Amino acid sequence: MSLAIHIVAALVGIWVLALTFIMRETTEGRWVNRIDEFWVRVDDRRIVAGGLWLSLCDSTPAKLTRVFNRIAGGKIISLRLIGVSGALSFASLFLSLASLFGVLSYLLLAHADLFK
């Protein structure tokens, strides 16, 4: 048990040390500013919309739309959109097949006497 605690503490220490080298003040400040600006916009919309949940439900789709437009492009049908859609479709297909084969192999190994 003591060894596990030491390993976890060492991993957390290495992670924090890596973060200090990776994140500089400008990067950290930029993320903090983005989060602060987002919450200021949410608070301003809360006053107009009449509640925090309504303002979050209003601002979250706008953010997601911008993210999806950056990934798939602004056009409704484009070569980039077809590529991203195909890649996500293949990824979901292989993920579902892997989980199906994982469950089947577990059942086969755990209950091998049922199949004899």
Range scoring the smallest mean pLDDT among 8-12, 13-17, 26-30, 110-114: 26-30
Instruction: Please report the pLDDT score of residue 55 as a whole number.
Output: 65
Domain ranges of the chain: 1-72, 75-116
Nearest residue to 41 via CA among 66, 64, 62, 68: 62
DSSP assignment letter at 111: T
Q: What's the pLDDT at 89?
A: 92
Q: What is the DSSP letter of 50?
A: T
Alpha-carbon distance values, 78 to 52, 72, 74, 107, 113 (Å): 36, 8, 9, 43, 53
* Confidence tier at 99 by pLDDT (50, 70, 90): very high
pLDDT digits (tens, 9 = 90+) for 52-73: 677 667 777 888 888 878 877 7
Residue 7 has pLDDT above 90, yes or no: no
Structure tokens belonging to residue 27? 């990067």
pLDDT at 97: 94
Across 41-45, average pLDDT: 75
